Amino acid sequence: MNSVLLSLLNWKAQEEARFTLMMSQGPFEVRLYQKLLCARVSLEGSFEEAIKNGMRHITEYLEGTNFKVEKILHAGPCFHLNKVDQWDVGMILPPEMDILNVPKPISRFIKIEEWAPCTVGVLRFRGGVTPEIFQRKGEELKRWIKKRGFNFQGPLRVSRNDFLLQFPFFRPNEVHLDII
* Residue 68 predicted with pLDDT over 90: no
Q: Which domain holds residue 53?
A: 14-179
Confirm whether 3 is domain-assigned: no
State the average pLDDT for the chain. Answer: 85
Confirm whether 28 is domain-assigned: yes
Confirm whether 8 is domain-assigned: no
Q: 164 - beta bridge partners? A: none
Confirm whether 94 is domain-assigned: yes
Q: Strand, coil or helix: what is 27?
A: coil
Percentage of residues of the chain with pLDDT beyond 90 = 57
Confirm whether 162 is domain-assigned: yes
pLDDT digits (tens, 9 = 90+) for 121-141: 999 999 888 889 999 999 999
Confirm whether 103 is domain-assigned: yes
Q: pTM of whole model > 0.85?
A: no
For residue 167, what pLDDT is reported? Answer: 66
Residue closest to 83 by CA, chosen among 24, 52, 124, 41: 41
pLDDT digits (tens, 9 = 90+) for 136-170: 999 999 999 999 999 999 899 998 775 555 566 77
Residues 125/141, Cβ–Cβ less than 8 Å? no
Domain count, the chain: 1
Confirm whether 49 is domain-assigned: yes
Q: What is the DSSP letter of 107?
A: S
* Residue 140 amino acid letter: E
CATH code of the domain covering residue 98:
3.20.80.10
Confirm whether 1 is domain-assigned: no
Mean pLDDT of 73-98: 85
| Cα distance between residue 35 and residue 22, in whole Å | 16
